[in-house]
Amino acid sequence: MAAQEEKEAQVMGRERGFVASWKRRLWQHAPGPRMGAPVLLLSFPCSAGPFLVCRDDLGARLPFFPGLSLLGHGLGQRLRSPLVAAWLKKIFGDHPIPQYEVNSRTTEILYHLSERNRLRDRDVCLVIEDLKQKASEYESEAKHLQDLLMGSVNFSPANLSGAGSRYLNALVDSAVALETKDSSLASFIPAVNDLTSDLFRTKSKNEEIKLELAKLEKNLTATLVLEKCLREDLKKAELHLSAERAKVDNRLQNMDFLKAKSEEFRFGIRAAEEQLSTRGMDASLSHQSLVALSEKLAELKRQTIPLKKKLESYLDLMPNPSLAQVKIEEAKWELDAIEAELTKKVNMMEL
Kindly report the backbone phi and psi dihedral angles of residue 208, in degrees, each rounded to the nearest multiple of 5, phi listed first.
-60, -40
pLDDT at residue 64, rounded to an integer: 34
Of 44, 54, 55, residue with least CA distance to 15:
44
List of the chain residues with pLDDT < 70: 1-78, 152-160, 281-286, 313-320, 324, 346, 349-351
pLDDT at residue 219, rounded to an integer: 94
pLDDT at residue 76, rounded to an integer: 57
Whether 282 and 348 have beta carbons less than 8 Å apart is answered as yes
Q: Which helix (H) or strand (E) holds 43?
A: strand 40-44
Inter-helix orientation angle 162-178/185-278, to 10°: 50
3-class SS at 147? helix
What pairs with residue 53 in β-bridges? 42
pLDDT at residue 148, rounded to an integer: 77
pLDDT at residue 207, rounded to an integer: 94
